Structure 1
Amino acid sequence: MKTNPDKDTELHDKINRETGRVKWRELDRHFASGSVIYVSQALDLIEVALRVAHDDKASILAWMQAGTVAKVSDQQAQAWTDSDATVWASVVSPFVLVQAEKTALH
């Protein structure tokens, strides 16, 4: 694997192609195993997935400390279940990164 995520356009494109919308309920098994990671709407989901794939500990730690990347909480999971939410998801084994759909501003 390349060591510089900023120049890894091939992996970026692969992650982008494999990222999609999914009903939260379809991720129950992954959530139960503790492998679902929340990504704030303030971040680019593809960029976060790329950094996770490259094990960019500095970026990941900074995002975790800022609260923009974290394990999905029980409360968030329940809210998404109750609202039958659809989320954006990207798999970077063994993790599934999820981001709430952005709402349109009126």
Structure 2
Amino acid sequence: MKMSLQEQEFLHAKLNMETAQMPWRELQRYFASGHILAICDGLDMVSVAVMMAADDMENISRLVAQKQIEKVTDEQAQAWFEEDVELWTVVIKPWILVQTRKNPVPDGTLLN
């Protein structure tokens, strides 16, 4: 589906408000069904979700080839389970995108 720039900006704002932190343990069943994609910490996860909604296969394919978007491996899932990790999430059906980035602090910098 081709989206106008205005539609993409609206969707970005909407999805940004729908992001949430979730414990990995609550995402296990979605992982088991193959519906979780890990987004590299250097990417704007919401922008990736907008690309997916816009069916921007050129950019999505490039990011997959660069391993900036990947399915979560069994090893990663086990490590997150053992560490009881909380991940940033956003849903873009049928996918749940996850990212391990740190929480932003009020001035916009990231905690280490």
Give TM-score, length-normalised by structure 2: 0.86
Report if the CA contact (8 A) 2:35-2:96 is conserved: yes
AA matched with 2:75: Q
Are residues 1:48 and 2:55 paired?
Answer: no
| Distance in 2 of aligned mates of 1:78 and 1:53 | 29
Q: How does 1:3-82 map to 2 (within 5 A)?
A: 3-4=3-4, 6-7=5-6, 8-82=8-82
Q: Report how far residue 2 of structure 1 moved.
A: 5.2
Moved over 3 A (4+): none
Q: Report how far residue 55 of structure 1 moved.
A: 1.1
| Distance in 2 of aligned mates of 1:70 and 1:37 | 6
Give the 3-state SS of the residue equivalent to 1:76 in structure 2.
helix
Computed over aligned residues only, the root mean square deviation of the Cα atoms, in angstroms, reads 1.5
Give TM-score, length-normalised by structure 1: 0.91
Give the 3-state SS of the residue equivalent to 2:43 in structure 1.
coil
Q: Report how far residue 3 of structure 1 moved.
A: 1.9
Are residues 1:101 and 2:101 paired?
Answer: yes
Where do 5+ consecutive residues of structure 2 fail to align?
A: 103-109
Report if the CA contact (8 A) 2:52-2:60 is conserved: yes
